[in-house]
Amino acid sequence: MVSIKEHWEFYSSEKILGIEIGDVNNNGQKEIIGFTKSGKLYIFSLNGKKLTELEISENSSLWQAMILDNTNEIITAGLDGLLRTYKCITSYELNPFWIHQFGASISGFLFDDVNNDGNKEIIAYSIDKSMRCLNPIDGSLIWGQLFGDGIGEAIIWQDTKNPSLKEIIACGNDGTIRVFKGENGELLWFKHFNEKIRCVSYMKSNRKELIVCGGDDKKLHVIDKSSQEELKTIEFDDFVWRCSSFNLEKKSYLLVSSYSFAFFDDSIEIKDIEFSSKLMCLNSELENIWEITNVNVETLIHIDTFSMTYVIIGTTKGNILIVNAGSGKIIAEINKNSCVNDIKYDSELNILISCHDNGSIFAYFLGKS
């Protein structure tokens, strides 16, 4: 079992959209960064002291930020289409390093060695329909690819028999999933669906590599990666919003969440809404082994701690649920009154951080009870 102790809290006047934990200035100590709807970046100590507050993109949301270990660098991306990199000095000032311009909002980015040259690259994707592999030293383009519409999510697949072989699997608003060779961006194959695809992941099943994706057609599509044949379709009552795989006792599992926009009805308070959306866990046989119903999942992570695997869920209503990944049993719950936008966990420090729509950040210690 897990015990939770609230450590500190912080309040801003605006939405905190995301958080990260890492050593921002390479001084041997970890910090926490939070990024906001108006384009601010906060840096906190692990004890919750605000170390600095910086204007990154004036009145333009930051969707993602990343701390690069051992380099004292931070990368940010957001609504204004600018991918920015900074060097963070000891006093926590950020010095601009380079900027790369996209034509519209950046949906997200990945950081990995996808071309097997011994150096990690930035793979960024945007609503402007482009995916770009960039040199992290100067932001120069290594290769690029285009979709028919904006790109929503991308993941990296690695060949278990040949770890140097990596591919980028991405999904778009044009209803496609596309698979690119990491080395040079070559399009290996694509598959088209009738509605926007919002999420993509992969898992192993009966020695097969599977790609799973879903979106506005309210279906989870399971595809044999080798043959590109659709093996199974699972229907939901709401949009398929997120999917992610994890391993438990050497077996592969998949988490799938659906999403309801019922909270758009201003006549009903969010706390009174009975959401039709849910979180489902599938095993490697693609069987539903557990689900949590009437929950609108905003963010989720899976963690290994205290010799157990847990799923931690943040919801639209402001609940944080810690779930036994094997059984689906909710073993702990934190109730806040504001939508959870992001959750991060540091296994070395056993610290859990959450950020919310009302500008709050909370830090918790996780212990074994």
pTM listed for this prediction:
0.95
- What is the rounded CA–CA span in Å between residue 254 and residue 202? 8
- What is the rounded CA–CA span in Å between residue 345 and residue 160? 27
Query: Any residues with CB less than 8 A from the CB of 25 and at least 6 apart, and which?
Result: 31, 72, 88, 89, 90, 92
- What is the rounded CA–CA span in Å between residue 275 and residue 293? 8
Residue 317 exposed, middle or buried by CB count within 10 Å (0-12, 13-18, 19+): buried
User: Residue 81: left if φ>0, alpha if ψ -120 to 50, beta else—which one?
Assistant: left
- Per-domain residue ranges of the chain: 13-295
Spatial strand order of the sheet with 50-55 comes to 16-22, 31-36, 40-44, 50-55
Query: Any residues with CB less than 8 A from the CB of 323 and at least 6 apart, and which?
Result: 292, 310, 311, 312, 313, 329, 330, 331
Could you list the mean pLDDT of each consecutive 10-residue stretch along the chain, which spans 369 residues?
91 96 94 97 96 94 95 96 95 94 98 95 98 97 98 95 94 98 97 97 91 98 96 97 94 97 85 94 96 97 94 98 97 95 95 97 92
Q: pLDDT per residue over 175-226, tens digit each?
A: 999 999 999 999 999 999 999 999 999 999 888 999 999 999 999 999 999 9
Model pLDDT, residue 29? 92
Question: What CATH number belongs to 13-295?
Answer: 2.130.10.10
- What is the rounded CA–CA span in Å between residue 309 and residue 325? 6
- What is the rounded CA–CA span in Å between residue 266 and residue 95? 43
Query: Any residues with CB less than 8 A from the CB of 108 and at least 6 apart, and which?
Result: 63, 64, 77, 124, 125, 153, 154
* CA angle 217–269–361, rounded 5-degree value: 85
Model pLDDT, residue 369? 74
Would you call 169 helix, strand, or coil by DSSP? strand
Model pLDDT, residue 207? 82
- What is the rounded CA–CA span in Å between residue 168 and residue 285? 25
